Amino acid sequence: MRSIALTIIALFGYTIALADGFGIGHGPYLQNVTEDKVTVFFTTSAPSFAWIEVESDGWVEPRRFANSEAGLLDAYTKSYSIEINGLERGKQYRYRIVAKEMKEFRPYKITYGDSIATEWERFYTTDSKAKECSFVIINDGHDNAGKVRTLLEKSQLSSANAVIYLGDMISYSEREDVPYNGFIDLSTELFARNKPFIAVRGNHETRGNMARRYKEYVGTHEGRFYNIYYYGNTALIVLDTGEDKPDSHPVYGGINDFDSYRNEQALWLQQEIKSKRFRQCSNRIVLMHIPPYITGNHHSEQHAEKELSRLFTPIFNKAKIDLVLSGHTHRHIDIEPDGDERKFPIIVNDNNSVIDLKLTKEGIGVTITDKDGKVTLNKKL
C-alpha cells in the first residue's frame, strides 16, 4: 500500500455529514506524526470512497491524498488510514476528509450516494530543532474512558506534543467498537484531531479474537508496534512487551509467539541505537508496558519481566537510556539505578495516575498526578 498525492479534481457539492445520513463513523485522529508525514485514521458510516485534502500557507491549492495499491485506490471500505507525506518540519497544516458513499458497486457501474466534507483541522509536523517537548502518559485504562478523561483533564494536555497510552487501554477485543469506546473516541473528542497519541501495546491489547486486527486502529511502523519517535533532542523508544506469561501457558492455546518477538526487538534496537539521529539525542526515553524488572507478580507472570530484563538491560545501559517508563502492575514503583548492573531508573505508573513528562536541554521532568488532582511525584532527572 502506498499513499499518493493525487491531482486535485473539481471540488464542489460537498455537505457536512448529516446526523442520520452518511457520515464519519470514528475519527479523524492522527498517528505517526514525524517531520515530513502524518497518518490520518477514520471510518465512514457506510462503504465509501474517501480521501484527505491538505492545505498549507504558500500552497496554491489543497493537495489530495488517498491510498493506492496496484492501480486501485482504496474504496468500498469503511476503514481508512491515509498517510500525508512530503511535508516540512515544524510547520502547521490543515486537513479535512472528503468522502462519497458508495451505494452500489457493480462490475461496470458504481452508484455514489451523499458526498461529505469535514471541518478543516490543524496539525503540526515535528521539529528536529525544537528546544523542548512534553508528553502526557496514561496506562492501564482497561476500557474505562471516563477515568481516562478525568486523567487527561488533570494533565498538561494543551501544551503536550502527544499523548502516550502506555498499554492495556482495553482489556481484550472481541468487538469492533472496543478500542473506540476504550480510548480512541475520547481522544478524537479531546485532542487527537490535532495532535497524535502513541499507542504502546500492552499485554491486554494482545487478547481476544480481534487482537490480530489491532493495527487497523493505531499507527504502526512497517506493521509492527515497536518504533522510535524523535522530537527535537529527544528519542522515544517504544517497545511491544507482549504477554506476561510464557507462550506455552494454557490460556494462550498455543497461538502466541512473544519470546521470538521480544528477541526480534532486541536485535532491532541494537542496530537503531547506533544511528546518528539517536546518538545526537540528549534525552533518551523508553516506553514499554511491562517493566524490565521483577516486580513481584505471580511467578508465571514474571516471565516477561525476566525476559525483558535479560534482553534489554544491557542494551539500555549501552544506549545510555535516561529513563524507562512502564505500567502493567497497577501500582506505582520507583526503581533507582543499580550501579553498573542497571544504569537507568524505571518509573512504573499506577492505573489511576497521569504522568506529565517534560524534556528540555537541561534534562527530564516527571510529574505524576492522581485522579483527584493531587501531585504524588515531582522529579527532575
In the complex, which residues of this chain contact Fe ion (CB under 5 A)? 168, 202-203, 328
**DSSP-assigned letters across all residues of 98-121:** EEEEEEEEETTEEEEEEEEEPPPE
Give the three-state DSSP class for 250.
helix
The Cα 47–Cα 99 span in angstroms is 10
8 A C-beta contact, residue 145 and residue 181: yes
Nearer to Fe ion, 44 or 203 (CB): 203
Tell me how far, at minimum, the Cβ of 142 lies from Fe ion, in Å.
Answer: 9
- In the chain, alpha helices (H): 145-153, 178-179, 185-187, 258-272, 276-280, 302-318
Cis peptide bond prior to 179, omega within 30° of 0: no
Q: Which three cell numbers stand for residue 149?
A: 478523561
Nearer to Fe ion, 28 or 202 (CB): 202
The Cα 247–Cα 300 span in angstroms is 11
Tell me how far, at minimum, the Cβ of 202 lies from Fe ion, in Å.
Answer: 5
Strands (E), 206-282: 227-231, 234-238
Tell me how far, at minimum, the Cβ of 206 lies from Fe ion, in Å.
Answer: 10
Nearer to Fe ion, 168 or 272 (CB): 168
Tell me how far, at minimum, the Cβ of 329 lies from Fe ion, in Å.
Answer: 8
Tell me how far, at minimum, the Cβ of 188 lies from Fe ion, in Å.
Answer: 24
Helix (H) or strand (E) holding 372: none
Nearer to Fe ion, 102 or 290 (CB): 290
Nearer to Fe ion, 37 or 330 (CB): 330
Residues whose CB falls within 8 Å of the CB of residue 236, separated by 6 or more in sequence, listed in order: 135, 164, 198, 228, 229, 230, 285, 287
Tell me how far, at minimum, the Cβ of 204 lies from Fe ion, in Å.
Answer: 6
Tell me how far, at minimum, the Cβ of 94 lies from Fe ion, in Å.
Answer: 38
Q: Which three cell numbers stand for residue 200?
A: 504502546
Nearer to Fe ion, 26 or 328 (CB): 328
8 A C-beta contact, residue 292 and residue 319: no
Nearer to Fe ion, 28 or 179 (CB): 179
User: 95: closest CA among 50, 126, 135, 159?
Assistant: 50
Tell me how far, at minimum, the Cβ of 167 lies from Fe ion, in Å.
Answer: 6
Nearer to Fe ion, 101 or 243 (CB): 243
Tell me how far, at minimum, the Cβ of 327 lies from Fe ion, in Å.
Answer: 7
The Cα 240–Cα 364 span in angstroms is 23
C-beta pairs of 19-25 under 8 Å, 24+ apart in sequence: 21/114, 22/46, 22/48, 22/99, 22/101, 22/113, 22/114, 22/116, 23/116, 24/97, 24/99, 24/116, 24/118, 25/78
Nearer to Fe ion, 128 or 352 (CB): 352
Q: Which residue has the cell 508528553?
A: 135
